[in-house]
Amino acid sequence: MKVCSGLTAQPPLATHPQRPTPPTFHTLPHFPELAVPSSRQAFGPAGLGPGGSAPGPATVQAWYTDDSADKPPWLHHAEPVRPVGLEQLCGLGVLYWKLDADKYENDPELEKVRKERNYSWVDVITIGRDKLPKYEEKMKMIYKEHLHLDDKIRFILDGSGHFDVRDKDNRWIQIFMEKGDTIILPAGIYHRFTPDEKKSEKAMRPFVGDPVWTAYNRPADRFGARRQNLELLAQTA
């Protein structure tokens, strides 16, 4: 589960003070399959190459954005393309690796991740116009820049989308996520999410203890989790 040179998945940088880790580890519940088309082709800028859905060495697709208002959110890559690698993401506290999305209900590697990181509660969410009530309203909400007081974990089971995160110089980095991709955004990092043009994604959301979805829109520098993240960013070369 090595995600970059010298770095493996570490315990969460911050956890909610009112959410102690439960003493027992619950097995994955059964989640019925939903008819969501698989996305196996990357929709990143030309030259970054497709990803893949099979587990194996982590190869991330990420790039700096130009935030052009005249482009769809998933086409905000700078010209020329400025790719971002795993080492740089790791410096921001972002962890990334591949898992087998086709056997997530009984995958020993996923079970190992959950035990090591105390993810005792999970659910599966499907994002799509015909599956998520008030779809447009919710997509606008999660595209607003925000942070969480806990790490944010997403395991993409089907479909695709993009997470944007801020680097130490406050520039946006866009990370393409497709089937099999697993990402952990550290507590306190400013980020946002958007689906791509397929408007469809199915993802697992693990939590430490009871689920907390509270988002704090920027500015939210008053929180300890943000200060902790800034300390981490200050160590980035």
Percent share of the chain, pLDDT over 90? 59
Domains of the chain: 38-234 (2.60.120.10)
pLDDT digits (tens, 9 = 90+) for 172-185: 999 999 999 999 99
Cα–Cα dist 236/66, whole Å: 22
Q: Mean of the pLDDT values across residues 216-226?
A: 98
pLDDT digits (tens, 9 = 90+) for 129-187: 898 899 999 999 999 999 999 999 999 999 999 999 999 999 999 999 999 999 999 99
Per-residue confidence (pLDDT) for residue 122, from 0 to 100: 94
Cα–chain center distance at 88: 15
SS (H, E, C) the chain: CEEECCEECCCCCCCCCCCCCCCCCCCCCCCCCCCCCCCCCCCCCCCCCCCCCCCCCCCCEEEEECCCCCCCHHHCECCCCCECCHHHHHHCCCEEEECCHHHCCCCHHHHHHHHHHCCCEEEEEEEECCCCCCHHHHHHHHHCCEECCCCEEEEEEEEEEEEEEECCCCCEEEEEEECCEEEEECCCCCEEEEECCCCEEEEEEEECCCCCCCCEECCCCCCHHHHHHHHHHHCCC
Per-residue confidence (pLDDT) for residue 229, from 0 to 100: 97
This prediction has a pTM of: 0.76
Per-residue confidence (pLDDT) for residue 236, from 0 to 100: 83
Q: Mean of the pLDDT values across residues 20-36?
A: 28
Per-residue confidence (pLDDT) for residue 58, from 0 to 100: 61
Least confident residue range of 118-122, 134-138, 197-201? 197-201
Question: In the predicted model, is pLDDT for residue 40 greater than 60?
Answer: no
Which of 4-8, 20-24, 107-111 tops mean pLDDT? 107-111
Per-residue confidence (pLDDT) for residue 71, from 0 to 100: 72
Question: In the predicted model, is pLDDT for residue 75 greater than 80?
Answer: no
Confidence of residue 80 (pLDDT cuts 50, 70, 90): confident
Question: In the predicted model, is pLDDT for residue 4 greater than 70?
Answer: no
Question: In the predicted model, is pLDDT for residue 10 greater than 60?
Answer: no
Confidence of residue 237 (pLDDT cuts 50, 70, 90): low
Q: Mean of the pLDDT values across residues 59-82?
A: 81
| 74 vs 199, higher pLDDT | 199
